[in-house]
Copies of this chain bind each other. A is one copy, B any other.
Amino acid sequence: MLKNRRENNETKPIDLGDALRSRRKELGLTMQSVADAAGLSVGFISQVERGITSPSLASLASLADVLQTEINSFLQTQPAPGQTTHKISRLAYSVAGADVSYERLSTTFPGSKVHSVIVHEPPGHRAEPISHRGEEMFYIIDGEITVEIEGEVEILTKGDSIHFDSRRVHSTWNHSTDTASILWCGTMDIFGDAPAPIHKEINSMQSTDNSNGDSN
């Protein structure tokens, strides 16, 4: 008997099979050739593409390899059209009390990973050092700022840009006397509306505090 598996699956791969199939078609390959190249059997490819079985991570990796894409591309949550434009009717908003204001540029559609805002930082404003997953890019629309990445300091002025791995500790500072406008573009979801929350209350089940000195 199958145990009472929770009703997980909410983030389930969706139609991975379809993705694989369309990609294969895109390359004009036959199941046979894909199977051979990936070291699998034809029948299995068929089963996977039709969603009857799901491949192991290893097999998926082989397939992604053969199909010349990243393994990720098959696990995205649905393509779907999604909304599109945005004009100069952008909702400029600023956090209460904060002196920075934002103009959201990017939209959110199923599968979207890139987010973008124009950030207006007043003179003297500092963004504390931070490190997180993903990558980001700045393009200075107006004004100038100081960017520090893992100790390295750079001064960026109008027209300059920088692109880096967000895991590297980074901070910014508007050292000038004018407001700086920065076009920010990155993979971090700063709007927090991308994936459905779902939120199981995991936190509440552990031992309250902790807050040890932490390792590292």
* A→B interface (CB under 8 Å): 3, 5-6, 8-13, 16, 27-30, 32-34, 36-39, 54-58, 60-62, 64-66, 68-73, 75-77, 79-82, 84-88, 105-107, 109, 111-114, 116, 133, 135-137, 139, 141, 149-150, 152, 154, 156, 159-165, 167-168, 183, 185-187, 195, 198-200, 202-203, 205-206, 210, 216
Q: Which residue of B is nearest A8, CB measured?
A: B62
Q: Are B205 and A85 within 8 A (Cβ)?
A: no
In the assembled complex, the CB of A193 is this many whole angstroms from the nearest CB of chain B, namely 14
A84 partner residues in chain B, CB cutoff 8 A: 149, 152, 154, 162-164, 168
A202 touches B165 (CB 8 A): no
Given contacts A37-B202, A81-B168, A114-B163, 12 further A-B contacts (CB under 8 A): A3-B39, A8-B61, A11-B61, A32-B206, A36-B202, A57-B57, A70-B195, A86-B162, A87-B160, A106-B163, A111-B165, A114-B136
